[in-house]
Amino acid sequence: MSDPIKTDVLIIGAGPVGLFAVFQLGLLDIKAHLVDILDKVGGQCAELYPEKPIYDIPAVPLITGQGLSDALMQQIKPFNPTFHLGEMVTTIENIGDPLFRVTTDRGKVFEANAVVIAAGGGSFQPKRPPINGIEPYENTSVFYAVRKMETFRDKKLLIVGGGDSALDWTLNLQPIAKRLTLLHRRDDFRGAPDSVNKMRALVAAGAMDLRIGQVTELEGADGQLTGATIKGGDGALTRVETDAMLPFFGLTMKLGPVADWGFELKDELIPVDVSTFETSRPGLFAIGDINTYPGKLKLILSGFHEAALMAQKAHHYVHPSKRLVFQYTTSSTSLQKKLGVS
């Protein structure tokens, strides 16, 4: 375990609400680190609808998901937050009054005076194919991500999918695999044209196999895969020998570890106090789509409001001896200094 990273506040989730929380906390001299399971900031805005227009942000008649995310990044720049992307928070432990020790699936450890859960719909995780009996093979023979390429050296690999993840890993793993088969439901790939061309050249040279169809059955024992049955476009069933399968079907939102953090969830949402957006655990806040309270609306603007109120209470934990004076950015020179505009 590495040395803990100390921060005033740890924010779980770098979607629009997590990002705006950095701004509200920053105005109150509270520093933040953010952890997000995606490899980019923006949450659902960036992952699910980067190009889609949003019409209900106050005073912004139209902005795309990516545009909103970019604008928030610009707005919080003066506060210089630190991002930990591609990591998922797994545990939140109370070690003080309040002081939290937070760990991620990559073994990172944080110590924070307050924790803000801005996790939206939970965490984006790979979609699992609906193949009977796939569970016993997961993480031993079926992998949804490549952590170490060496795991796949001299193995017979079956990569499934038609996007960039499937193609990139096909090209990266083909040289070290014993034999690689790429399986896709149609003979048309949405990945980068250059990757598609490289893959097709390897197939033409006989260096790998391309199959069109879908996996219907797995065979093997004790978590070790030996083969898979493929149903072709014509309905014919064939078998392919494989030691490992890597399915790439995109991401879906799952509640994830939030369920294990000691809250009494209501319909998979965290109940909060509406004056502070604090949960039943003092010092632990929940803002945005992940929380619930009477009248809750899952709107970005609600999350922004919740971030502002959360920051007032978080100040109490981070700077207990400092008096909090309410100020406006339009008139306060002290706030303007923090924003770098004075």
Partner 1 sequence: MPRITFIEHDGTEHTVDADTGATVMEAALRNGISSIVAECGGGCTCATCLVHVDDAWSAAVGPPSAEEEEMLDSAFEVKPTSRLSCQIKVTESLDGLVVRTPSYQGR
Give contact residues for partner 1 (rule: CB under 8 A): 44, 47-49, 52, 121, 127-130, 161-163, 184-186, 188, 190, 214, 249-250, 252-254
Q: Which is nearer to partner 1, 162 or 283 (CB)?
A: 162
At closest approach, how far in Å is the CB of 203 from partner 1?
Answer: 18
Dihedral pair phi/psi, residue 47, rounded to 5°: -90, -40
- At CA 67, angle to CA 62 and CA 73, rounded to 5? 130
Q: Which is nearer to partner 1, 44 or 104 (CB)?
A: 44
Q: Which is nearer to partner 1, 78 or 126 (CB)?
A: 126
Q: Which is nearer to partner 1, 28 or 171 (CB)?
A: 171
Indicate the pairing of strand 224-232 with strand 284-286: unpaired
Indicate the pairing of strand 89-96 with strand 99-104: antiparallel
Distance CA 332, CA 323 (A): 16
At closest approach, how far in Å is the CB of 92 from partner 1?
Answer: 24
State the sign of the Cα–Cα–Cα–Cα dihedral 84, 316, 71, 337: negative
Q: Which is nearer to partner 1, 247 or 283 (CB)?
A: 247
Distance CA 36, CA 158 (A): 29
Q: Which is nearer to partner 1, 156 or 184 (CB)?
A: 184
Q: Which is nearer to partner 1, 97 or 188 (CB)?
A: 188
At closest approach, how far in Å is the CB of 269 from partner 1?
Answer: 16
At closest approach, how far in Å is the CB of 228 from partner 1?
Answer: 15
Three-class DSSP labels, 82-151: EEEECCCEEEEEEEECCEEEEEECCCCEEEEEEEEECCCCCEEEECCCCCCCCHHHECCCECCCCCCHHH
At closest approach, how far in Å is the CB of 188 from partner 1?
Answer: 8
- At CA 158, angle to CA 104 and CA 167, rounded to 5? 75
Distance CA 32, CA 81 (A): 6
At closest approach, how far in Å is the CB of 302 from partner 1?
Answer: 16
Q: Which is nearer to partner 1, 81 or 162 (CB)?
A: 162
At closest approach, how far in Å is the CB of 50 from partner 1?
Answer: 8
At closest approach, how far in Å is the CB of 1 from partner 1?
Answer: 32
* DSSP secondary structure letters along 201-243: HHHHTTSSEEEEEEEEEEEEETTEEEEEEEEETTS-EEEEE-S
Distance CA 96, CA 308 (A): 25
